[in-house]
Structures are given as structure tokens and as C-alpha cells.
Structure 1
Amino acid sequence: MATYKKRGYKPKNKKEKEEVVEENSTTAEVFNTLDEGASKTEEWVVKNQKYIIGVIGAIVLVVLGYLGYDEFIAEPAEKEAMNEMYTAKQYFDDAVSGVSSDSLYNMALNGGEGKYGMLDIINEYGGTPAANQANYYAGMAYLNMKDYQNAITYLSDFKSDDVMLDPIAKGGIGDAFVQLNQLPEALEYYEKAFKANTNEFTTPLYLMKAALVAMDLEQYDTALDYLKRIKNEFPTSTEASNTEVLIGKAEAASS
């Protein structure tokens, strides 16, 4: 299971970048912009979150179909758990839209209108596929509420072979570690995220996040490997548009 360091942990300071690289580079302004985008702020963490979570509704149907209709009929507890989770999932979906999101995430976690929340599903129906799915929703809700330690806890408890949910959950743990200023752990989970499945969406996304964290850790060779993968294997991805500039920066910093 993923673990987080005690409060007060401080990673080593980055070495100062050579001023000559910044002064002589014709793309200095672009570099500065990218540095801001890679900084450890909540905006950087939730980048792409709405799009990622927006696909979850459709994915859940696939996951449930994979589990099999017969299983739900044969297992009354599981069927009951899925029925109980319906309202909590609605709260979660509404929160993603951005309307009173914090209060809706709270209701998704703790329930409302006499209905169970995700935490109730986990506690009352432990061991069922519904409880496993609730771990995912709970972890993502905590991540968006900036409760990063709980996000790590619940996302770590979520197990899936789904081609989208598995890498997104691992990437969410990486996002939480970034916010806790634990960059080595963040890099580890971003690497797990892009290795979990190869596809046109999550793979370049987490390769880029891994590359940015690797650069923060001054692991420039690692960053170059990941950036070149994006450039060569996913040239039409959103992330590919920034690879040339970042490759140049990584090469300059490592020389």
C-alpha cells in the first residue's frame, strides 16, 4: 500500500538552474510557463481531472458488465450494495460539474437524504465489487477536496484491471503525493500509471507528469526517456505539443 511521510517532511532543494541557459534560450518565456504548470499547486494536480472523471460514468457500466449480470442476481448483498451506491454516485457526478462541489463530494462520501455514502458502502459491504468501486470514488472525492492522505488510502485500496480506471487511480495517488511534497513517491505512482495500460489517453498523460516530476528531481535522463516516448509513440496527444520544448530544457539542464 502507498504510504505518506510524516508532516514536516521536506525534500531536498533543487539545484539552481544555470542562468546562462535561461538567458540565452529563445524559449525562456515558454520554459517559465511550463515551470509554472509543473509546480506543486492544486491547479497542476487537477489538470485534466474533469475530463478524466467525466468518462467514469461510461466506464463503470463496462466494469459492471464485466462482473456479470448473473453475479448480481446470485449475490443479493452485491445487488443491494449497488442499489445503495446509486445516490452517492449521483452526488459524485454532480460534484464533478463544479456546482457546490465540496458539499456534494461530502455527500458522496457520507451520504444524504437517508442514503448511504461511499464510506458506508465500504464499511457495510466490504469485499464486494461495489465496495471496491466505492474505494475509487472515495479516493477521487478526497483528492478533489484536497484531503490527500485519505485520497492515497482509498485509492490504494481500489483494485481493478480496467484499462482506464486502474491507471487513473494510480495517477490519482501520484497527484496526492505531489501535493504532499513527496516527489519520489509521486514519480513511482505516475510510472505505475502509464505502465498499467497502454492507450492514447492515460499513457501520454502520466508519461508527461512523470517526466515533469523527474525534472524536478533532476533525473533528466529519465525525463528525456519519457518525453521522447510521448513524442514518438503518441504524436497526436495533447501532451506531445510540449515535448520539443521540454526535451530541449532537459538536455540543457543535464549537459
Structure 2
Amino acid sequence: MAKKNNIGRRPTGTPNRGRKEGGNQEIRIEEDGDDKLVDIIEVREKGMDFFERNRKPIIGAVLALIFIVAGALLYQTFIAGPAERNAAQQMQQAQFQFEQDSFGLALTNPGQGYPGFLEIAEEYGSTDAGNLANYYIAVSYLNLGQYEAALDYLEDFDADGELLPAMKMGVMGDLQSELGNLDAALSSYEGAVDAAGKNYVTGGYYLNKLALLYRHQGQTENALEAFRRLKTDYGQSAEAAQADKYIAALEG
């Protein structure tokens, strides 16, 4: 005779912990010798009663959540997205002038009816392109010798990602150096090297600036350490090719 399938059945020898009685669907649970009755209907009615008493705030909270999600999607689709694309298009001519070292034109009048970086930063400040315009403005003012104005815009620039934090700290070092705040410049260049990580282009560039400023300040040991690190950590950088020359001069 085939064996019966016992899957889902109560194992033999274990106590029966509950039973149904009549229409009230009561479950009897034995615990430490005391009987406790759990009325399923009563529990269900209490849950329904809670919902009835709090119907308005519950529904209101659900509707509020729906409106928040829908509003965020609508904002991204019809406002933020188009504004981002428009800002990027508007900035192309200013970027062209910047690359030609025409910093004054890039700031205010890049030509062909396009706005300069100053107007873009003001009009599209909430977009990524508008934020990046702050960096371009800072570098432009740095090259025009307007260091305080450059510093103001650089502080408004929100650097994010792998490359931009090092670039921001590096420009900060340049500005502090031009303003005569050499200790602050050293700190900024150190921050730029740290932010660059293994990127030999930005890391080598700012480590070289750090080493040269140490040398200018008469901090020979720090300068030597920086130039040696330039060779070992950023040997692929263009600046590393000149490191031996400075090391020999500092050691001699």
C-alpha cells in the first residue's frame, strides 16, 4: 500500500494548539496552563474601527504622497529637464570664448546673441550647467586679475564627482597664492592632490604646484618629499619629467 503524503499535516505526537468552535471562529491557545481565547472577528472589527476613525488622515496622507511623487516627475519632465538642456546650449558660445582665452567676452558677451557665463549662472543657477558656469567665472576672473570676485564665484561652485573637487581646490590654491595667503594656498593644493587620487593629470599638476610653493617658502624637506612623490605616484604626468631637476637643486 502506498504511503500517504503527510506534507502540511501536523506531526504525530505534537499537541493540538487550536480548534474552531461554531460561527465565532474562536481559537483556543494553551500557554502555561492558562487558556487564552482570541476572537478573530473581534480583532478584525477593531482594525476596521481604527480605519473608520482615522479614515480622513490616512487617505489624506496617501493622497499627499501621490501628489509629491507626481509633482517630482512633472518637475523633472517639464521644468528641470528642459532648463538643463537649454542652459547647456546657451553656454556653448561662452565656452568657445573661454577656450580662446577671451575671458572678458566669455563672461559677458560671447557673441552671436548668446549669454555670457555671468548671465547663465544667474538665470540657470539651479541646473548643472548653471553651477558649472560659476567655475568658469572664477577661472575667468582669476585670469583677469580680479581675485576677490573669482573667490566669491568659486565658493558658489558645487564641485561633485571625481574630477571637479580637485579642480576647485586647485583654483582655490591659485587664488590664495595670488592674494598672498600662502599658507592657505599650500593647504588648498594639498586638498587638490588628495581629491585627485590616482588621476595622474590633475594629481601631478597640483602636486607640482605644491612642491614649487614649498620650495618658494624655503620648506626644503617638504619640497623634496613632494617632488619625489611626483615621480613615484604620478610618474606619467608631464610635470614628473622636471622633478629630477628640482630634486638635484634642492639636494645640492
Q: Same fold (TM over 0.5)?
A: yes
Distance between the aligned counterparts of 1:84 and 1:236, measured in 2? 36
1:152 match:
151
2:94 match:
91
Distance between the aligned counterparts of 2:211 and 2:74, measured in 1? 42
Q: Larger Cα Rg: Structure 1 or Structure 2?
A: 2
Task: Provide the alpha-carbon RMSD of the alignment.
Answer: 2.6
> How big is the shift at 1:117?
3.1
Distance between the aligned counterparts of 1:71 and 1:150, measured in 2? 37
Q: Deviations over 1:104-163 (max 9, x none)?
A: 22326xx76654433233333444333322211211221222212222221222122322
Residues 191 and 113 of structure 1: is their aligned pair in 2 closer, same or farther, counting only changes over 3 Å?
same
Question: When the two structures are aligned, how many residues end up with a matched partner?
Answer: 179
Cα pair 2:87 2:129 within 8 Å, conserved:
no
Q: Deviations over 1:29-79 (max 9, x none)?
A: xxxxxxxxxxxxxxxxxxxxxxxxxxxxxxxxxxxxxxxxx8994361453
Runs of 5+ consecutive residues of structure 2 not aligned to the other structure: 1-72
Distance between the aligned counterparts of 1:73 and 1:122, measured in 2? 20
**Which residues in structure 2 correspond to 1:25-40 (within 5 Å)?**
none
Distance between the aligned counterparts of 1:163 and 1:114, measured in 2? 34
1:234 match:
234
Residues 182 and 75 of structure 1: is their aligned pair in 2 closer, same or farther, counting only changes over 3 Å?
farther
> How big is the shift at 1:193?
0.9
Distance between the aligned counterparts of 1:235 and 1:115, measured in 2? 42
Distance between the aligned counterparts of 1:162 and 1:196, measured in 2? 10
Q: Letter of the aligned partner of 1:231 in structure 2?
A: K
1:79 match:
82
**Which residues in structure 2 correspond to 1:60-139 (within 5 Å)?**
73-74=76-77, 76-77=79-80, 79-98=82-101, 101-107=102-108, 115-139=114-138
Residues 207 and 114 of structure 1: is their aligned pair in 2 closer, same or farther, counting only changes over 3 Å?
same
Q: Letter of the aligned partner of 1:93 in structure 2?
A: F
Distance between the aligned counterparts of 1:129 and 1:172, measured in 2? 19
Distance between the aligned counterparts of 1:237 and 1:196, measured in 2? 16
Runs of 5+ consecutive residues of structure 1 not aligned to the other structure: 1-69
Distance between the aligned counterparts of 1:71 and 1:121, measured in 2? 24
Is the strand fraction higher in 1 or 2? 2
Cα pair 2:173 2:184 within 8 Å, conserved:
yes
Give the TM-score of the pair, scaled to structure 1.
0.61
Q: Letter of the aligned partner of 1:243 in structure 2?
A: A
Q: Letter of the aligned partner of 1:204 in structure 2?
A: G
> How big is the shift at 1:250?
2.7
Cα pair 2:135 2:154 within 8 Å, conserved:
yes
Q: Letter of the aligned partner of 2:99 in structure 1?
A: V
1:244 match:
244
Cα pair 2:166 2:193 within 8 Å, conserved:
yes
Distance between the aligned counterparts of 1:170 and 1:196, measured in 2? 8
- Between stretches 184-193 and 161-170, larger displacement belongs to 161-170
Distance between the aligned counterparts of 2:156 and 2:78, measured in 1? 22
Cα pair 2:104 2:140 within 8 Å, conserved:
no
Distance between the aligned counterparts of 1:74 and 1:245, measured in 2? 56
2:42 match:
none
Distance between the aligned counterparts of 2:189 and 2:119, measured in 1? 29
**Which of 1 and 2 has higher RCO (CA within 8 Å, sep 6+)?**
1
* Percent identical: 33
**Which residues in structure 2 correspond to 1:141-180 (within 5 Å)?**
141-180=140-179
